[in-house]
Amino acid sequence: MAIITRDSLVKRVFSDVKNYPYGFSRSGDFSINESKALSQYGALYAALVDGVISPETQEDQHFVESAFGKVEPETVSERAWLKYQKRINRPKLGSIYGNKPSHLNDDEEDATINDDEALEVDIDS
């Protein structure tokens, strides 16, 4: 099993193909400097936040504190990481096809239409 070190994580290019399939720079969510910082330091930051490695430098310690909201972010990469976390963890707000309730209350009727049932129509003359 390979040992994960800070240097190996800094050399690794970070990408998120699920949320940003075309890369951070082409998403429109990040500036050029923010996308470069995420690509360069994202793997290190993910490992620090997940607890895979422990902070070795003062910069690492400050990043961990800013990531957990204890201090304000100071560097471009710290701000970019927080922005990235807000973007991927934002609530999903429906779709173009509408919202479907996750469950119906007990006193609400199921509003589905059954094609086999007879349909009654009242016409006022």
- Going by pLDDT thresholds of 50, 70 and 90, the confidence category of residue 110 is low
Q: Which residues of 68-105 are buried (b: 16+ CB within 10 A; e: fewer)?
A: eeeeebeeebbbbbbbbeeeeeeeeeeeeeeeeeeeee
pLDDT at 120: 74
Average pLDDT over residues 33-60: 91
Instruction: Output the pTM of the full model.
Output: 0.67
Average pLDDT over residues 89-111: 62
Structure tokens at 17: 């193909």
Task: Please say if the pLDDT value at position 107 is more than 60.
Answer: no
Over residues 9-36, the pLDDT tens digits come to 888 899 989 989 998 888 888 999 999 9
